[in-house]
Amino acid sequence: MDSEKQTLSKKDPEKEKRKNKNEKKLTVGTWVVILIAWYLITKFEIFSPTLLPSPSRVLTTFFRLLEDGYNGVSILSHLRASFRRLFLALALANATAVPLGLLSGYFSKIEAIIDSVVEFYRPLPPLAYYTLLILWFGIDDKSKIILLFLAAFAPIYLACVSAVSKINENYILSAKSLGANQKNVFFKIVLPACLPEIFTGIRTAFGVSYTTLVSAEMIAATSGIGWMVFDASNFLKSDVIFVGIIIMGITGVLIDAGLRFLERKIVYWKGHV
């Protein structure tokens, strides 16, 4: 009887493949409907072409921007400027939030020091204190990187603290009873057990940082994809705005897919235990 239950509980590979195939069809179908609706709305001019450009016009503008750039600067340069700020901030946030979050979850005294500070600034809209960062660090990339670092730090830190709190204490006690020291317990039990939630925190931090980056570039910048969209809005260049929004959406999806790919490779046991 127990063996039958175990057999039934296992996922059928063929059934999973069919399910994934159907879900992909639904995803593709959704975007086909959106594109058709967009085309029909612009064809019958339900909205002014100045406010809602047609798909063909947006596509033409995209290729023109690839060739000529925007305001004399290539669109790839704008993307490089944005991603340099984003990835540097995320790297700094990962390098600090992960160890501090794990240590805070493992040692209550460290949590008492750090947690209150994170909980204080976490609910604050990042742009609310961005003006202070500009006054302190200037309008260049330094203030933007610090802003993005703060935006990314909190989700990663909280995910790490939460992950440690969910570890089965029996695993730690068993390891200690077998002679494992604190270092071995941390790197052999705590860290691997926390990796799934750490990746969730990193993905959340990426989304928060990306939206914050675009907003920051709209306020104080002379380069970046967010600045391009904001500058185009000042001159009612809706086709450029759409190109910028689509590029931000696609790059966001691709980066998140890359993070999920890394998660599958690093946390290969997730979903199999």
- Can you spell out the DSSP letters for the chain? -HHHHHHHHSPPHHHHHHHHHHHHHHHHHHHHHHHHHHHHHHHTTSS-TTTS--HHHHHHHHHHHHHH-BTTB-HHHHHHHHHHHHHHHHHHHHHHHHHHHHHHHH-HHHHHHHHHHHHHHTTS-HHHHHHHHHHHH-SSHHHHHHHHHHHHHHHHHHHHHHHHHTS-HHHHHHHHHTT--HHHHIIIIIHHHHHHHHHHHHHHHHHHHHHHHHHHHHHS-SSSHHHHHHHHHHTT-HHHHHHHHHHHHHHHHHHHHHHHHHHHHHSTTTT--
Tokens of 3: 């063996």
Specify which of 20-29, 204-213, 263-272 reaches the highest per-range mean pLDDT: 204-213
- Orientation of helix 55-68 relative to helix 238-266, angle to 10°: 80
Stretch 143-170: mean pLDDT, rounded? 91
Stretch 39-44: mean pLDDT, rounded? 91
Q: Is 95 exposed, middle or buried (0-12, 13-18, 19+ CB in 10 A)?
A: exposed
Q: What is the pLDDT of residues 96-132, one digit of tens each?
A: 999 999 989 878 898 899 999 999 999 988 888 898 9
For residue 80, is pLDDT > 70? Answer: yes
Report domain extents, the chain.
13-46, 53-266
Mean pLDDT, range 200-210, rounded to an integer: 93
Q: CA–CA separation, 6 vs 25, rounded Å?
A: 31
Look up the CATH architecture of domain 53-266: Orthogonal Bundle (1.10)
Mean pLDDT score of the chain, rounded to an integer? 87
Span 24-29, average pLDDT: 89
Question: Cβ–Cβ contacts within 10 Å for residue 58, how many?
Answer: 20
For residues 255 and 258, give the distance between their C-alpha atoms in angstroms, rounded to a whole number. 5
